[in-house]
Amino acid sequence: MSGTQEPLIEVEQLAAALAEPDPPTLLDVRWRLTGPPGREDYAAGHLPGAVFVDLDTALCGPPGAAGRHPLPDPAALQAVLRAAGVRAGHPVVVYDGGDGMAAARAWWTLRWVGHRPVRLLHGGWPAWLAAGLPTSTEVPAPSPGDVTVRPGALPVLDTGAAAALAAADEGVLLDVRAAPRYRGETEPIDPVAGHVPGAVNLPAPEYVTEGRFPAAEALRERFAAAGVTEGTPVGAYCGSGVTAAQAVLALHLAGRPDAALYVGSWSNWVADPDRPVATGEVPRR
């Protein structure tokens, strides 16, 4: 597995890799938007050797005007990753409760800071259990890692309005939230309903099913139907940059490693009351 860069790893592949003399570093990032904390799931059972890393407090910065899950402080993130045993150039596998969202944000974050050999366990914790593989409640004490965090290795749409609007103008800006949220009919979390003007709605279930990704060709067809064709600049956002990270991973699988993540997403967009808000079915400016 050493040096691999593919976004996904299947359960059987991971089991084989964990039996090697120098296995990959395992990060358990189970998380739910409305709780309870993923650490409780981790304590009840996890992959042997996995270290729990909290999405809200370790992989993201404090919520605020930059969004509910903004970029982390690089120095703080480096300390977290080193404490979890992440070593420079050494493979990392991340997994979550099965929907693939928190793991995708962890995958994206590690890639964003320049750590390329990171993969997401396809199907997450449920797939591991379904395969009848061993679990543990033991909390490991990994040797400190030496990874160096160098932000900027993946494209980001910054927290200003200009970048997101430009993405919609010059290419395709995907809004991967549910259609009623995009249309502005309901907003269960953020204070304003609607979408970034010009954004195209492609709800996550249209390209991923319960955390499982289809083949690359099927993904290319689904993104192409939303206007993402070869050479078209593409960015993605959701409510706070977690589901959209999964969209970016799907775009990588479809052959678009240049896809940009709007990290702050809608929670950042509506933090500024002067930013325009569109509603309805059809993207418009």
CA distances from 27 to 48, 118, 213, 270 (A): 11, 10, 20, 32
Q: Where are the alpha helices (DSSP H) in 19-73?
A: 38-44
Residue whose C-alpha is closest to residue 243's, from 182, 160, 171 = 182
Is residue 28 a contact partner of residue 53, using CB atoms and an 8 Å limit? yes
Active site (annotated) includes residue 238: yes
Kindly name the residue from 80, 149, 238, 251 that is annotated as catalytic.
Answer: 238
Q: How far apart are the first and last CA of the chain?
A: 47
**Using CA atoms, how far apart are residues 31 and 11, in angstroms rounded to an integer?**
20
Q: Which of 50-67 are b and which e, b meaning 16 or more Cβ less than 10 Å from the residue's Cβ? A: bbbbbbbebbbbeeeebb
Distance of alpha carbon 126 from alpha carbon 87, whole angstroms? 27
Instruction: Starting at the earlier edge strand, list the strands of the sheet with 172-175.
Output: 156-157, 260-262, 234-237, 172-175, 200-201
Residues 32/54, Cβ–Cβ less than 8 Å: no
Nearest to 70 by CA among 251, 239, 193, 195: 239
Q: Which residues are catalytic?
A: 238
